[in-house]
């Protein structure tokens, strides 16, 4: 394999493309957004991720990486497009289906097709394989089809894409082996082979496990609030037990993985996934609990100024996907409980909110709500907070 085509140049596709290019492959990155294509072809990036700009600049400068809006003939195709959910928490596979359809004209026998997008079980066998069959290419016989879910942490992608273990599932054992030959060119972690559906479920299970444990912490925080207890002290003491490791509660759960993936299991097995669904309900309800606290605090003022710190779904990144902070900000802004000042240091602008500098928010706010523990917020002078009503579901202040 010499020519690789990566479809989707977001948080997974672009790092993967640049890494493959640095390993000597000729990589064509495909994205439907012309601005993204233009930016990458200039050797620049459109997302915030440490060291990614250096990799992309080097890859484009070497001539090994270029971007386009349509795929071209290649030896391998890696699909790394979004898989959100639609109304009713049902998986929206529109982007995956469109990506597969887009490569049909250039796909040839012997090519390798890899799905990296996190997907419901049986996506490879029940969605992708039938699409390939429409042009007479049988998965596992004419073309190799495999699933290799990404397992990286935003903020550490360029390191983890290399060092983390990988799971590769093929629709046949030979499909998995073909995919392994590509990934072992840059992956230093161990590579484990299985079937495609098991690989799909592995990623969903990993994030569902984390979601369930976060739900326990979030539920504890609401119980402690009602009982008048300090949840942070309680968790710290409980974690002194050698077999207890309770996670930190927060304003909810966001991101494209933990907030989404469990619903794929619930959709596939609604009668059996009772605990997984309950955890999603708890975590989805936590933003509304934070809004309730803001409303109660607002009643102490005639016309309060409410400072909301953070919109990203986690600290020190610019990713707003499924962010509970965004949901809280929207509800508070629309409820007219007071003037709302939003600060998000990792974004230049937002479609709904005017973004303010941190100093201005700290100066003018009567109520300060820490929604994301960005490093800029963690270092706020505690003297400033003494004159404010502080709501801190992250437990930083």
pLDDT digits (tens, 9 = 90+) for 47-60: 889 999 999 999 99
Q: Based on the domain organization, do 245 and 334 belong to the same domain?
A: yes
Q: Which of 143, 159, 189 is the last residue of a domain?
A: 189
Q: Based on the domain organization, do 378 and 234 belong to the same domain?
A: yes
Catalytic-role residue among 257, 277, 314, 394: 257
Q: Based on the domain organization, do 132 and 273 belong to the same domain?
A: no
- What are the pLDDT digits (tens) for 133-184? 999 999 999 999 999 999 898 889 999 999 999 999 999 999 999 999 999 9
Q: Based on the domain organization, do 145 and 246 belong to the same domain?
A: no
- What are the pLDDT digits (tens) for 347-392? 999 999 999 999 999 999 999 999 999 999 998 999 999 999 999 9
Instruction: Assess if residue 396 is contained within a domain.
Output: no
Q: What percent of the chain has pLDDT over 70?
A: 100
- Contact criterion met (CB below 8 Å) for 117 and 94: no
pLDDT surpassing 90 at residue 16: yes
Instruction: Assess if residue 196 is contained within a domain.
Output: no
Q: Based on the domain organization, do 22 and 79 belong to the same domain?
A: yes
Residue of 111, 114, 119 lying closest to 95 (CA atoms): 119
Q: Based on the domain organization, do 30 and 136 belong to the same domain?
A: yes
Q: What mean pLDDT is predicted for residues 173-198?
A: 98
- What are the pLDDT digits (tens) for 56-106? 999 999 999 999 999 999 999 999 999 998 888 999 999 999 999 999 999
Q: Give the DSSP H/E element, type plus range, for residue 359.
A: helix 358-364
Q: Based on the domain organization, do 149 and 24 belong to the same domain?
A: yes
pTM beyond 0.85: the answer is yes
Q: Which of 157, 189, 221 is the last residue of a domain?
A: 189
Q: Based on the domain organization, do 175 and 243 belong to the same domain?
A: no
Q: Does the active-site annotation cover 203?
A: yes
Q: Which of 163, 189, 215 is the last residue of a domain?
A: 189
Q: What is the pLDDT at residue 293?
A: 96
Q: How many CB atoms lie within 10 A of CB 322?
A: 20
Whichever domain contains 323, its CATH number is 3.40.50.720
Q: What is the pLDDT at residue 371?
A: 98
SS3 223: helix
Q: Based on the domain organization, do 230 and 353 belong to the same domain?
A: yes
Q: What is the pLDDT at residue 64?
A: 98
Q: Does the active-site annotation cover 257?
A: yes
Q: Based on the domain organization, do 249 and 306 belong to the same domain?
A: yes
Q: Which domain holds residue 281?
A: 204-391
Q: Based on the domain organization, do 330 and 291 belong to the same domain?
A: yes
pLDDT surpassing 90 at residue 232: yes
d(CA 45, CA 52): 8
pLDDT surpassing 90 at residue 342: yes
Catalytic-role residue among 5, 124, 203, 314: 203
Please, which pLDDT band fits residue 314 given cuts at 50, 70 and 90? very high
Q: How many CB atoms lie within 10 A of CB 227?
A: 9
Backbone angles phi, psi at 367, to 5 degrees: -120, 130
Number of domains in the chain: 2
Instruction: Assess if residue 198 is contained within a domain.
Output: no
Mean confidence (pLDDT) of the chain: 96
Q: What is the pLDDT at residue 155?
A: 84
Instruction: Assess if residue 199 is contained within a domain.
Output: no
Q: Based on the domain organization, do 226 and 297 belong to the same domain?
A: yes
Is residue 99 classed exposed, middle or buried when 0-12, 13-18 and 19+ CB atoms within 10 A define those classes?
Answer: buried
Instruction: Assess if residue 111 is contained within a domain.
Output: yes
* H and E: helices and strands count for the chain: 16, 14
């Amino acid at each position: 394999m010499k020519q690789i085509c990566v479809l989707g140049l977001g948080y997974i596709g672009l790092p993967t493309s640049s890494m493959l290019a640095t390993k000597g492959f000729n990589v064509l990155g495909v994205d439907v957004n012309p601005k993204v294509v233009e930016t990458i072809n200039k050797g620049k990036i459109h997302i915030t991720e440490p060291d990614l700009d250096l990799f992309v600049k080097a890859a484009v400068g070497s001539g090994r990486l270029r971007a386009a809006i349509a795929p071209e003939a290649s030896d391998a195709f890696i699909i790394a497009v979004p898989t959100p959910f639609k109304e009713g928490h049902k998986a929206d596979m529109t982007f995956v289906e469109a990506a597969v359809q887009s490569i049909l004209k250039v796909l040839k026998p012997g090519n390798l097709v890899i799905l990296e997008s996190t997907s419901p079980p049986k996506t490879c066998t029940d969605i992708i394989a039938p699409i390939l069959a429409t042009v007479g290419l049988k998965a596992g016989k004419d073309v190799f089809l495999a699933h290799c879910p990404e397992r990286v942490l935003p903020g550490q992608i360029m390191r983890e894409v290399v060092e983390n273990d990988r799971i590769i599932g093929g629709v046949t054992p030979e499909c998995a082996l073909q995919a392994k030959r590509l990934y072992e060119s840059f992956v230093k972690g161990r590579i484990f082979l299985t079937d495609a559906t098991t690989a799909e479920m592995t990623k969903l299970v990993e994030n569902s496990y984390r979601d369930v444990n976060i739900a326990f912490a979030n539920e504890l925080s609401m119980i402690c609030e009602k009982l008048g207890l300090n949840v942070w002290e309680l968790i710290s003491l409980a974690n002194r037990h050698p077999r207890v490791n309770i996670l930190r509660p927060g304003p909810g759960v966001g991101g494209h993985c933990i907030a989404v993936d469990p619903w794929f299991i619930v959709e596939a097995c609604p009668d059996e996934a009772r605990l997984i669904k309950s955890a999603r309900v708890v975590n989805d309800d936590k933003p509304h609990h934070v809004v309730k606290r803001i409303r109660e605090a607002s009643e102490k003022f005639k016309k309060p100024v409410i400072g909301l710190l953070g919109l990203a779904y986690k600290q020190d990144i610019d990713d707003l996907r499924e962010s509970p902070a965004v949901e809280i900000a929207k509800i508070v802004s629309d409820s007219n409980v007071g003037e709302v000042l939003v600060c998000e240091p990792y974004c230049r602008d937002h479609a709904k909110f005017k973004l303010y500098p941190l100093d201005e928010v700290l100066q003018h706010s009567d109520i300060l709500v820490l929604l994301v523990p960005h490093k800029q917020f963690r270092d706020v002078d505690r003297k400033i907070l003494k004159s404010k009503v502080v709501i801190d579901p992250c437990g930083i202040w």
